[in-house]
Amino acid sequence: MKKTKHRHSDVQSAARGSGNDVREGDKTPSWPETLLAWYGAHRRPLPWRTPGSAPLSEEADVYRTVVSEFLLMRTRVRAAEGYFRRFLERFPNWDELARAPEEEVLRFWQGIGFYRRATYLHSLARTVVERHGGKFPRDPRSWNELPGIGPYLSGLLAAKLLGLPEPAVDGNAQRVVARLFAWEGPKDDPGFVRRVRDLLRTYIPPELPGTFNEALMELGETVCTPRSPRCPECPLQDECAARRSGEPTRYPRPASPRPRPLEERDVYLCRTEAGILLVRRDTGLLARLWHFPHLSSASAEAGSCCADFAFIGTVEHAFTHRLWILRLRVPPASSATCGRAREDLVRLLAEDGWETRWFLPEELVRVPMPRVFRKVEERFAPFW
DNA sequence: GTCCGGTAGA
DNA sequence: TCTACCGGAC
């Protein structure tokens, strides 16, 4: 169960509101009004959007919104669209999702990354069904107990579901605000996100908080883009401090780069009459997904028979925070050597805390597996 | 190659 | 408050 995160105090304090920039009799529209007008004309019809950005009323719309937002965490709209359609077709409501086995949910998530989102969403569906009668709770205080609902999604739902004047601060909103006011950031400073949220609270129109949040994010996605902003098309160009500066992309300052350690690992095709050996674990990188068994090249060399597996080439895979060089190994030619090497491998995997299971080759297509091991699968296929 | 993007757990 | 987590676009 989740710990207290202090995030919904934001939602509650927002209810007090600090007004907005829309003043009666003011002839010049404030930028939130300009933004809303632009959004009315440029809103993209995305598969999870209801017509006219109406507040969420039907539970089916709440479900679709939540699913789409889980898919969109740290993920672009274009990448998420196809996943959303397939996911909704198979899991059309909280009940179907809650009933499904986790492995099937992960299979629909495979390839899009950040797989923990899928297990959180699945667990969220079960909580909604078992503890809230199949209806997403309307009390923001109870959101603390829900997996996968952080400050952004909490703000989004507070606005869209409850009509509270609460900002939904994603990367797009941060960028648009940073440019509008020429705030440097840096983006990886938690204080920066807080300042953006505080500022947006003073501008968010109390009558249309959900639409305003969407509009801000839409502008960031389609016009105020990270690298090549289309300033001449921007409805806020006249009030944008970054544009006036002549260097809009200087805002916000990018997060400080992190080192990306290189890891060499040996990956094994382990094939018997029982099938092909795959492994998984509950935590860490690619948690809950199936992997071809792999060991750090160091531990594989440490006096084991794994070196008897024949090297057939390498696969490289870049994660954001690390780089993998995988050395592909297939069973040795001699069957005696093969048995010994296999026992050695299974023992070392168990010591590393991996759960092991054998799959028939035709079963692999239905197994949730990340991109990197689909690449490996392609290279191993000729050997089974 | 470099940059982009929310949440949880520590 | 910091770090781990994935894959795709440019």
Annotate A213-242 with b (16+ C-beta within 10 A) or e (fewer). bbbbbbbbbbbbeeeebeeeebbbbeebeb
- Which nucleotide across the nucleic acid strands is nearest to A253, CA versus C1'? B3
Q: What is the pLDDT of residues A80-133, one digit of tens each?
A: 999 999 999 999 999 999 999 999 999 999 999 999 999 999 999 999 999 999
Pairwise CA distance, residues A221 & A76, whole Å: 9
Residue A290, pLDDT > 80, answer yes
Catalytic residue chosen out of the listed positions A33, A69, A104, A145: A69
Q: Which residue is nearest to nucleotide C6 (CA to C1')?
A: A113
CATH 1.10.340.30 placement within chain A: 8-250
Q: What is the pLDDT of residues A167-218, one digit of tens each?
A: 999 999 999 999 999 998 888 888 999 999 999 999 999 999 999 999 999 9
- Which nucleotide across the nucleic acid strands is nearest to A370, CA versus C1'? C6
| A69 catalytically annotated | yes
Enter the CATH code of domain A262-383.
3.90.79.10
Size of chain A in residues: 384
From the Cβ of A206, is strand C under 7 Å away?
A: no
Cβ(A279)–Cβ(A356) under 8 Å?
yes
pLDDT at A300: 72
pLDDT at A181: 96
Provide the CA A303 to C1' C10 distance, Å, integer. Answer: 45
CB under 7 Å from strand B: A 2-3, 5, 72-75, 113-114, 116, 120, 146-154, 170-172, 174-175, 187, 220, 226-227, 254-255, 257, 318, 320
- Could you give the dihedral angle defined by the CA atoms of residues A354, A365, A268 and A110, in that order, rounded to the nearest 10 degrees? -60
Cβ(A5)–Cβ(A140) under 8 Å?
no
CATH 3.90.79.10 placement within chain A: 262-383
How does the average pLDDT of chain A come out, rounded?
89
Provide the CA A370 to C1' C3 distance, Å, integer. Answer: 22
Contacting residues for A51 by C-beta, under 8 A, at least 6 apart: none
Fold of A8-250: Endonuclease III; domain 1 (1.10.340)
Provide the CA A114 to C1' C5 distance, Å, integer. Answer: 6
| SS (HEC) of A35-65 | HHHHHHHHCCCCCCCCHHHCCCCCHHHHHHH
